[in-house]
Amino acid sequence: MQEIPDPRSAAGSPFVASHNPGSATGPEPAAKVFKVGMIGFGTVGRSVAKILSERQLTSLRLTAICNRNRERRKVSWLAPEVRWTDNAGDIVNSDADIVVELVGGLEPAEQWVRNALESGKSVVTANKQLIAHFGNELLDLARAQGQHLYFGASVAGGIPVLSGLQEGLAGDHLTKVRGIMNGTCNYILSKVESEGISFETALKGAQEAGFAEADPTDDVEGYDARAKLTVLARVGLATATKPEAIQCRSIRVVDAVDFLYAHQLNYTIRQISRAEVRGKTLYASVTPALVPLDSPLARVSGGQNMVMATGEYGGETVFSGHGAGGNPTAVAVVSDLLAIVSGNRNVANAYAQVPVIGRKVSADFSDMHYVRFTVNDRPGIIAELATIFGKHAINIDSVQQNAPGYPKNRLPFVITLEACSATALGKAIDEIAAADYNVERPVVLPMLR
């Protein structure tokens, strides 16, 4: 018989179910069937329901679904006893053992999850913003109520990154995580690179193909990836921070000419999320960056994701696969449901269990940098730039001026810089940007190694 123990009991781990082998003189009681109530029947919700229906998992039974316009959402392939509602409170107050939240956003999702836990239900969610902002509080509540809160689908969709960090690499001391965590941005940048089109054209194509939302702000400005990085930093690096403390920069500045120059330098460009612990500081950012062509990150194309974790003892471990989409994300959700049923793992509760070290958050990485200027050409520009960079103790590594076909009054060229702090470079660029030869503000991208 599968039992979910009281987390306050000293008998075992707060979040790992125990197993009773039954009496030596009688048959083992039938395993409990966990009733599942789901809030949200969009792309991921449909896929979760499909998996539960087709796999016929004997330990899980979908009993209720909440979605707006429920009559239009109903499908013939679900069991007729599945109840439909457009009121999330009906799910929270139902006889479900587990509530699955797949609507996203902070409110009212946070209240739904809180109410479900308080009413004695475990929760599975794919909501990275919810976990990034309220993960600590909700996990404390889950523990106090003797319930589970699992969120394996909140980072990198169907890639088991959180379980890999928390269980597979438990014997190591992780110091760094970085990767490509937003499939929409990766799809757009891949299109700019392969087709030589502008960012806006690639974005429009991504929207028409269903890879980007009508409002792509969370993706292209880095907010989506930042929430995922917040969760990874907490689970992998034992550092709790709010997403707003992590600097993020838009990929809108990247144009086809940047890929032309990047390839000349044996690099490509991707949106990179990275967090690294050094002493009492967590260095973290989400930004478009140049990555070497021989890096695993350079080979991530389309809507795929990749996360690379670096440990003190085990070195670098790579997790890659489909980071978005209905089916991959649904696989992670169902895996969390099965984990609650079996009680075999404790991954998602890492927020509540890993000791957290107080660290300040900084984006002041020391990197080589790529700086693309677009100027109204005249003699002496490079000499003036060298003077300003020198004043800020920044050394020029190379000058790239091989982009034919551009007019003199809008000429792009690139200067690469030796490793320097982002703060020092920011001051130099502010001074340079005021010069009258600039057609637009210089584009600054870190060059990773």
Which position among 128, 176, 191, 228 bears the catalytic label? 228
Distance CA(232)–CA(309), nearest Å, equals 10
Which residue from 203, 350, 365, 202 is spatially nearest to 272, judged by alpha carbons? 365
Answer for the pair 63, 94: CB distance below 8 angstroms, yes or no.
yes
Distance CA(11)–CA(13), nearest Å, equals 7
Q: Which of helix, strand or coil describes residue 278?
A: strand
Helix axes 256-264, 183-195, angle to 10 degrees: 80
Answer for the pair 52, 46: CB distance below 8 angstroms, yes or no.
no
Q: Which of helix, strand or coil describes residue 184?
A: helix
**Tokens 């930004």 map to which residue?**
287
Provide Rg for the chain, Cα atoms. Answer: 25
Burial class (CB in 10 A: 0-12, 13-18, 19+), 380: exposed
The dihedral of CA 380, 385, 386, 392: what is its sign? positive
Is 32 in the active site? no
Answer for the pair 188, 251: CB distance below 8 angstroms, yes or no.
yes
Which residue from 282, 176, 272 is spatially nearest to 225, judged by alpha carbons? 272
Distance CA(118)–CA(112), nearest Å, equals 10
CB-based contacts of 226, cutoff 8 Å, min separation 6: 132, 243, 246, 248, 273, 286
Would you name the residues annotated as active-site residues?
228
